[in-house]
Amino acid sequence: MIIGSMIGFGSLARDSDMTLSMAIISTVGIWGLPGQMAMAEMSALGAPMAAIVIASSMANLRFMPMALSVVPLFRADPRGWAWRYVLTQVMSINVWAVFMLRLPSLPNERRFPFFVGLATSCLTAGIAGTVTGYILTGVLPTYVSVSLIFLNLCYFTFVISSSDQRNCIFAVLIGAVIGPIVYNISPNWGLPFCGLAAGTAAYYLDRALGGGRDRG
C-alpha cells in the first residue's frame, strides 16, 4: 500500500515539474502523503512559500495527536527518549497504527528497536515508490502515467472506507462537494480552507445527529 500510494505521488511530482531530488526530499522531509500532495500541487501553481508551508502543515496536522500519544511510551528507555524527535519525524500513520497494535506485547527495551525497524522499512518503501512513480511517468504512455496519479485517490478511499467513524465519512463527502468550488475561487488557499471547512462542518453535523455512533 505504501509503495503503491507513493508511486502515485512520484507521478504527481513529475507532472508538477518537480525534480527527482525534490520529490525524494519531500518524501523524507514531509513524510505524509496529504502534505506532499499539497506541496506539489501548490508549487506547480506558483503559490507563495508561506501558503505552501501552511497547507502542508495543516494537511499533516493529524500527526500531532499521534506524536503526543507515542512519545511518552519511550520515556522509560534512554535510547528512545533521546531520539524522540527523530522518531516522530519518521512516524507515519502506518507506523503508528502497527506500533500501537503491538505495544501491549512489547517490553520497554524492545519498543525503540521495533519502532526504528518498522519506520525505516516504511520510509524505504516510500522512497522506492516515489522514485518508481517518477521514472515510470517519463517512460510509460501518457494515459498510463496519468492513471498513476489516481493511485493517491485509491489509497485515501481504502483508508477512509476502513474507518468506522461517521464524522470521517461526512468530512470526505462535504470536501468532495465544496473542494472544486473553493479551488476555483482560490487555487492557492482552496486546499487548506476546504479541509478546515469540511472537517468543522462534519464535526458539528455528527454532533447534531448524535455523534459518537459508528457507521451502520
pLDDT of residue 94: 81
Q: How far is CA 162 from the centre of its chain?
A: 16
pLDDT of residue 27: 92
- For residues 203 and 213, give the distance between their C-alpha atoms in angstroms, rounded to a whole number: 13
Q: Are residues 68 and 125 in the same domain?
A: yes
Q: Are residues 97 and 181 in the same domain?
A: no
Domain range for 91 is 1-162
Instruction: Report the number of distinct structural domains present in the chain.
Output: 2
Q: Are residues 61 and 141 in the same domain?
A: yes
- Cell 468543522 belongs to 200
Query: Which of 49, 61, 41, 50 is closest to 191 using CA atoms?
Result: 41
Q: Are residues 42 and 120 in the same domain?
A: yes
What amino acid occupies position 65?
P
Q: Are residues 20 and 71 in the same domain?
A: yes
Q: Which residues of the chain have pLDDT under 70?
A: 145-146, 148-149, 151-153, 155-164, 211-216
pLDDT of residue 216: 43
Q: Are residues 50 and 152 in the same domain?
A: yes
pTM score: 0.70
Q: Are residues 185 and 129 in the same domain?
A: no
pLDDT single digits (tens) 74-121: 999 999 999 999 999 999 888 888 898 888 888 999 999 999 999 999
DSSP three-state, residue 144: helix
